[in-house]
């Protein structure tokens, strides 16, 4: 990605469940932003335009980027000179106890069957809660609509990339709908074919997604 896009790409490490359950990963994402903000690393101080930053993630990383974004939008001034311009969410990993159409249709998906995604949430969520917790369910967070209003007011753009063969695709569609209802500028990238993580099995899909990200990021130069 860094070879294709004129950007410094920071890959963030985070604590893993079940030893470190959520919100540990979300906290670590915020810590990473604080470290970048105060870093004296030459790669950052000499080459990075801090006024044009993006939060990006794939699968669970997409969920982390989303939750980090919801936190950042509440304290944008605290992160100066970092200025977030948008979110890039590739097949974000959301859940809920109520099954939707894509989950039922792809219940026995060979890559991400429901029993596996359910287990992942069981291991990641705080002990004693279910998939309708705000860390997993899009609409469970109190005041999420107001946070989307703030994302709109900050002028952020949100790229959501999804595939029809991913059991989680309807969750991504729901996110797009909820944000668009609040007037957030959302770029929806949808391909009918492709499983969860398809870019790892088909390099051409990964290349196409990187080109899409490049176009999205470059649009802020206009």
- Whether residue 93 lies inside any domain: the answer is yes
Percent of the chain at pLDDT exceeding 90: 95
94-152 pLDDT, tens digit per residue, is 999 999 999 999 999 999 999 999 999 999 999 999 999 999 999 999 899 999 999 99
Query: In the predicted model, what is the mean pLDDT of residues 178-184?
Result: 98
Confirm whether 9 is domain-assigned: no
Question: Does 85 fall in a domain?
Answer: yes
- Predicted confidence at residue 221, as pLDDT, reads 79
Cβ proximity of 180 and 208 under 8 Å: no
Output the domain CATH number for residue 123: 3.40.50.1820
Residue 217 in domain:
no
Instruction: With a cut of 80, say whether residue 222 has pLDDT above it.
Output: no
User: How far apart are alpha carbons 136 and 31 in whole angstroms?
Assistant: 21
Q: How far is it, in rounded angstroms, from Cα 124 to Cα 143? A: 23
> 144-153 vs 60-72: helix axis angle to the nearest 10?
80
Share of the chain above pLDDT 70, in %: 100
What is each CA distance from 125 to 1, 128, 175, 209, in whole angstroms?
A: 31, 8, 20, 29
- Nearest CA to 166 out of 197, 212, 140 is that of 197
Instruction: Kindly list the catalytic residues.
Output: 59, 166, 196
Question: Is 58 exposed, middle or buried (CB count within 10 Å of its CB: 0-12, 13-18, 19+)?
Answer: buried
Phi-psi region of 91 (alpha: psi -120 to 50; beta: other; left: phi over 0): left
Q: Note whether residue 2 is domain-resident.
A: no
pTM of full prediction above 0.75? yes
- Residue 88 token pair: 């890039």
Instruction: Specify the number of domains making up the chain.
Output: 1
Answer yes or no: is 17 within a domain.
no
Q: Residue 133: inside a domain, yes or no?
A: yes
List Cβ neighbours of 49 (8 Å cut-off, separation of 6 or more). none
Average pLDDT (191-215) is 96
Print the domain residue range for 118.
24-212
Q: Is residue 173 part of a domain?
A: yes
């Amino acid at each position: 990605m860094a070879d294709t896009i004129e950007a410094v790409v920071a890959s963030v490490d985070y604590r893993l469940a079940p030893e470190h359950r959520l919100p540990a990963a979300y906290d670590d994402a915020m810590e990473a932003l604080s470290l970048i903000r105060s870093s004296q690393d030459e790669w950052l101080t000499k080459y990075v335009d801090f006024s044009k930053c993006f939060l990006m993630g794939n699968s669970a990383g997409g969920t982390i980027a989303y939750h980090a974004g919801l936190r950042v939008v509440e304290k944008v001034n605290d992160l100066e000179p970092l200025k977030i311009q948008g979110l890039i969410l590739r097949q974000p990993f959301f859940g809920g106890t109520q099954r939707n159409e894509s989950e039922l249709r792809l219940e026995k998906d060979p890559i991400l069957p429901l029993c596996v995604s359910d287990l992942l949430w069981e291991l990641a969520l705080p002990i004693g809660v279910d998939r309708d917790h705000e860390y997993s369910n899009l609409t469970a967070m109190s005041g999420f609509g107001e946070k989307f209003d703030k994302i709109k007011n900050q002028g952020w753009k949100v790229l959501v990339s999804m595939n029809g063969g991913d059991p989680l695709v309807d969750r991504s569609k729901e996110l797009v709908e909820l944000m668009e209802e609040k007037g957030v500028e959302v770029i929806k990238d949808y391909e009918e074919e492709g499983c969860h993580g398809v870019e790892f099995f088909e390099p051409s899909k990964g290349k196409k997604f990187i080109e899409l990200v490049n176009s999205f990021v470059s649009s802020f130069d206009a």
